[in-house]
Amino acid sequence: MTDFIVALGLVFVLEGLVLAAFPDLAKKAFESVMQAPDQMLRIVGVVSAVLGTLLIWLIRG
């Protein structure tokens, strides 16, 4: 559970840094996401989840 909380904290740090450093780029990205079809968002979400799981599996063994 500790690893999960640390990972969640890291997500917040990275998102915060991106929003603070590149606010205009973040706004454009959010607008693109809002206009993207649901099917594309689902595919990107599933691919991201699979890649994240594989990365954790490779690191943790």
Which of 50, 8, 10 lies closest to 18, judged by CA? 10
pTM for this structure?
A: 0.73
pLDDT tens for 22-47 read: 999 999 999 999 999 999 999 999 99
CA angle 17, 51, 45 (to 5 degrees): 70
pLDDT tens for 6-25 read: 999 999 999 999 999 999 99
Q: Where are the domains of the chain?
A: 2-60
Residue 48 pLDDT level (bands cut at 50, 70, 90): very high
